[in-house]
């Protein structure tokens, strides 16, 4: 776990093609994550889910920093 506040650009650069759990995300007017505290990152979504269940952050966002996986529905 990193628990470091990072911008979305920093997250995408450092954790390319990974799932990222961000606590207390700051959102822009379009509800897109601008920055937040990175709690954990992994290539495996199940790892992120396990940490989220254990920590139960009050406000969080799940991000994927790569192209959308084929088996994921994205609602924009």
Instruction: Say what the pLDDT of residue 43 is.
Output: 95
Instruction: Say what the pLDDT of residue 60 is.
Output: 96
55 belongs to a structural domain: yes
24 belongs to a structural domain: yes
Instruction: Say what the pLDDT of residue 47 is.
Output: 95
Please tell me the total count of domains within the chain.
1
Instruction: Say what the pLDDT of residue 76 is.
Output: 63
Instruction: Say what the pLDDT of residue 23 is.
Output: 96
Successive 10-residue mean pLDDT values, the chain, 76 residues = 84 96 96 96 96 96 87 71
Q: Give the residue numbers spanning the domain of 23.
A: 4-64
37 belongs to a structural domain: yes
| CB-based contacts of 37-42 (< 8 A; 24+ apart in sequence) | 37/3, 37/4, 37/5, 37/6, 38/2, 38/3, 38/4, 38/5, 38/6, 38/11, 39/1, 39/2, 39/3, 40/1, 40/2, 41/2, 41/15, 42/18
């Amino acid at each position: 776990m990193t628990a470091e506040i990072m911008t979305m650009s920093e997250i995408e650069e450092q954790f390319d093609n990974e799932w990222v759990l961000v606590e207390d995300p700051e959102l822009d007017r379009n509800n897109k994550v601008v920055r937040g505290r990175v709690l954990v990152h992994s290539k495996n979504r199940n790892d992120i889910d396990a940490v989220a269940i254990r920590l139960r952050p009050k406000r969080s966002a799940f991000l994927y920093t790569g192209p959308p996986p084929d088996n994921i529905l994205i609602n924009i």
